[in-house]
Amino acid sequence: MPEAMAYLTLKRASRQLGVHEQTLRSWEKRGLIRMVRLPGSGYRRVPVTEVERLRDEMVSVKTGPRVRLEPPRRDAEALARAVALAEAVRNELAGLEEATTFDDLLATRRGRTWSS
């Protein structure tokens, strides 16, 4: 490994990018980020250039489809739809047996359990 300051620990890189360490591991597995392994221990080190590249990509304003967060609508139509959905959930929950748990309900609706 060349110059020690040219690499960051996984923890430090994740803090600088504002993501979890496991996210960086996942990105490495998917080929989105390049990391190096220390001989012997196999610990990961992230090149500073990769952190800078990812930071630039994460904050850059690009054209094309993006996820845009918008506050919820507060007009009468949106409110009426929210009230109708809440009433539908209330009715569905009221029809359940007392022995049924919320987790059981979700598993039934999904058609699977969390462990399957």
Residue 85 CA to residue 25 CA, distance in Å, equals: 39
**In the predicted model, is pLDDT for residue 52 greater than 70?**
yes
State whether CATH 1.10.1660.10 applies to domain 4-59.
Answer: yes
Q: Answer for the pair 10, 25: CB distance below 8 angstroms, yes or no.
A: yes
User: Quick one: pLDDT at residue 1?
Assistant: 47
Q: Say which residue, 98 or 91, is predicted with more confidence.
A: 91
Q: Say which residue, 84 or 107, is predicted with more confidence.
A: 84
User: Quick one: pLDDT at residue 73?
Assistant: 81
User: Quick one: pLDDT at residue 2?
Assistant: 47
Residue 34 CA to residue 29 CA, distance in Å, equals: 9
Mean pLDDT of 98-110: 74
Give the domain ranges of the chain.
4-59, 76-110
